[in-house]
């Protein structure tokens, strides 16, 4: 019986929509301009030409047909097509440690007697979209668009193509920052995504299904959505949901408001077919802004953390915990000596706001905290046993401290496509090293393109000379021309040599 009722309800909605659509198309139902007659007290309306169109008001209050052409014209030049190519090395170094022939002229028989050379791998190509955010050529896209790529190529709306450098990535939000060297670039401004409202018109701009420079229209369907698509340990998901059509290839493209400003980076779709079914998701521009600022200023993302495990409050959870329902975020556990612990937050507290912003769901709380850095202080209001309590919390970093962890910013490191850090005491003691440098992250660059190096490699020598810290690596490579030989080990003790050519 319940099923029959639901079926009838669905048909009612469908038929009502059909009748309205037919009536509008025939001009029976019209959008009108009001003209009040004071002498009768009755509102008299006048028909507006083109009655089948949607209408909006301009800044002066005049009614006009809703039109996306001006917005499209503003944004198309700022959205780019991205091609990421994963070529791998021409030589498989797993179990094959002899120097490739092209580099023997630089190093002679220095490492003679290793295993034979491997085989050439076939390139894999992926595509996506990106948004130019300033005239220095910085482009925001999704991390999954360029992850594991050896080369990244950006094509502008005018079909000019450029090789891109990966400035940095943030897997926790699935964002990446690229840069191209080009002049007279069209850019897009970011706005406060907190001001975006459900029901607001938005456009999705990108390159779906191999179709360059595509614009689709829709509305903001919801905010602060968590769809559990990001498997990173510290993942932040608080997506803007939209029904503007998004398909594979739109990833990294722009979600814009009618003023042509960026409100989000299109990232994912919910679909059983792999193509658009009405549900698209974008990273809010406030998160994008924070990630970009951190990558440019510090070289990596500074993530402030409360140090709690949380659940969105609902009636079932309230019943489970035997508490009165309060809209907010339930604190399940509090990490020892975390910022939350030191501030006095307890298990069983319900977080209802941060810095005056309501936290009705876990994704919304994550989004607000993700906009902060270690050492930042936030004012949190909790409901504890039916009473509100205000607490000041100093956020920590992932290592439990409050300091900013800055990445070394060297131009040669961008050319290599790698992040480095000095080895810790444990690794040094394990291998008897009084210093060395570990590769913590690989991006598109020389190392990925020309070697099979894996993240975690510990560099002990460059061109046969001992290196003990990051400054030694920079000194050995800056201004270097020709071949480079990196010697080192992995944490399992296996020793490897990696050779590549360094452009002048």
CA dihedral (105, 108, 111, 115) positive or negative: positive
First to last CA, the chain: 77
Q: Under a CB-based contact definition with an 8 Å cutoff, are residues 205 and 79 in contact? A: yes
Report the C-alpha gap between 290 and 285 in whole angstroms.
9
CA separation for the pair 27, 193 (Å, rounded): 37
Of 172, 169, 236, 143, nearest to 419 by C-alpha is: 169
Alpha-carbon distance 476 to 479, whole Å?
8
Cα–Cα nearest to 283, from 359, 370, 355:
370
- Give the DSSP per-residue string, 39-72: TTTEEEEEE-SSTTS-EEE-TTS-EEE---HHHH
Cα separation, 300 vs 412, in Å, equals: 17
**How many angstroms separate the CA atoms of 312 and 238, rounded?**
13
Exactly one of 150, 170, 174, 243 is catalytic; which is it?
A: 174
Does the annotation place 251 within a ligand binding site? yes
Q: Is 355 annotated as a binding residue?
A: no
How would you label 169-196 residue by residue, b for 16+ Cβ within 10 Å and e otherwise?
bbbbbbbbbbbbeeeebbbbebbebeeb
Q: Whose CA is closest to 241, among 284, 288, 285, 191?
A: 284
Q: Please check if 52 is assigned to a binding site.
A: no
**Has 4 been annotated as catalytic?**
no
The answer to whether 135 is a known ligand-binding residue is: no
Instruction: Name which of 419, 130, 178 is nearest 300 in CA terms.
Output: 419
Q: Where are the beta strands (DSSP E) in 339-454?
A: 350-354, 357-358, 377-384, 387-394, 418-422, 437-442
Contacts of 68 (CB under 8 A, 6+ apart): 203, 215, 217, 258
Does residue 471 have an active-site annotation? no
Q: Catalytic: which of 84, 144, 221, 353?
A: 144
Asked whether residue 353 is marked as a ligand-binding residue, the answer is no
Residue 283's closest CA among 255, 249, 250? 255
Element (H, E) at 340: helix 339-343
CB of 239 closer than 8 Å to CB of 268: yes
Confirm whether 58 is a catalytic residue. Answer: no
Q: Detail the residues annotated as belonging to a binding site.
A: 144, 174, 249-251
Q: Detail the residues annotated as belonging to a binding site for substrate.
A: 144, 174, 249-251
- Residues marked as catalytic: 144, 174, 251
């Amino acid at each position: 019986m319940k099923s029959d009722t639901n079926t009838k309800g669905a048909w009612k909605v469908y038929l009502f929509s059909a009748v309205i659509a037919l009536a509008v198309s025939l001009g029976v139902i019209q959008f009108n301009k009001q003209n009040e007659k004071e002498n009768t007290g009755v509102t008299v309306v006048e028909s507006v030409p083109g009655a089948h169109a949607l209408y909006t008001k301009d800044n002066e209050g005049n009614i006009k047909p809703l039109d996306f052409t001006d917005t499209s014209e503003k944004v198309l030049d700022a959205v780019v097509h991205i091609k990421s190519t994963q070529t791998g090395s021409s030589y498989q170094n797993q179990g094959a440690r002899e120097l490739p022939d092209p580099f023997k002229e630089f190093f002679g028989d220095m490492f003679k007697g290793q295993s034979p050379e491997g085989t050439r791998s076939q390139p894999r190509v992926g595509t996506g979209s990106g948004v130019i955010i300033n005239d220095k050529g910085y482009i925001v896209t999704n991390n999954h668009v360029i992850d594991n790529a050896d080369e990244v190529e950006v094509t502008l709306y005018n079909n000019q193509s450029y090789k891109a450098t990966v400035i940095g990535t943030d897997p926790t939000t699935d964002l990446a920052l690229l840069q191209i060297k080009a002049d007279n670039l069209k850019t897009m401004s970011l706005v406060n995504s907190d001001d975006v409202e459900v029901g607001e018109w938005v456009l999705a701009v990108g390159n779906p299904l191999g179709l360059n420079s595509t614009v689709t229209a829709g509305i903001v369907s919801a905010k602060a959505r968590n769809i559990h698509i990001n498997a990173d340990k510290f993942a932040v998901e608080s997506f803007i949901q939209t029904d503007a059509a998004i398909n594979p290839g739109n990833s990294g493209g722009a979600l814009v408001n009618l003023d042509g400003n960026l409100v989000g980076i299109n990232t994912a779709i919910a679909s059983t077919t792999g193509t658009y079914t009405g549900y698209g998701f974008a990273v809010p521009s406030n998160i994008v802004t924070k990630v970009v600022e951190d990558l440019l200023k510090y070289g990596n993302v500074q993530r402030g953390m409360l140090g709690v495990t949380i659940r969105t409050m609902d009636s079932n959870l309230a019943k489970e915990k035997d508490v009165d329902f309060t809209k907010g975020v339930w604190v399940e556990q509090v990490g020892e000596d975390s910022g939350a612990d030191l501030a006095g937050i307890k298990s069983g507290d319900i977080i209802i706001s941060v810095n005056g912003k309501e936290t009705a769901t876990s994704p919304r709380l994550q989004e607000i905290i993700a906009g902060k850095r270690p050492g930042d202080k936030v004012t949190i209001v909790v409901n504890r046993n039916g009473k509100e309590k205000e607490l000041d919390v100093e956020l920590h970093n992932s290592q439990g401290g409050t300091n900013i962890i800055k990445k070394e910013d060297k131009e040669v490191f961008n050319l290599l496509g790698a992040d480095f850090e000095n080895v810790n005491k444990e690794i040094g003691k394990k291998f008897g090293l009084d210093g060395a440098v570990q590769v913590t992250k690989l991006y598109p660059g020389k190392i990925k393109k020309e070697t099979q190096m894996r993240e975690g490699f510990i560099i002990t020598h460059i061109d046969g000379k001992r290196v003990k810290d990051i400054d030694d690596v920079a000194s050995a490579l800056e201004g270097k021309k020709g071949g480079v030989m990196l010697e080192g080990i992995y944490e399992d003790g296996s020793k490897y040599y990696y050779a590549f050519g360094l452009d002048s």
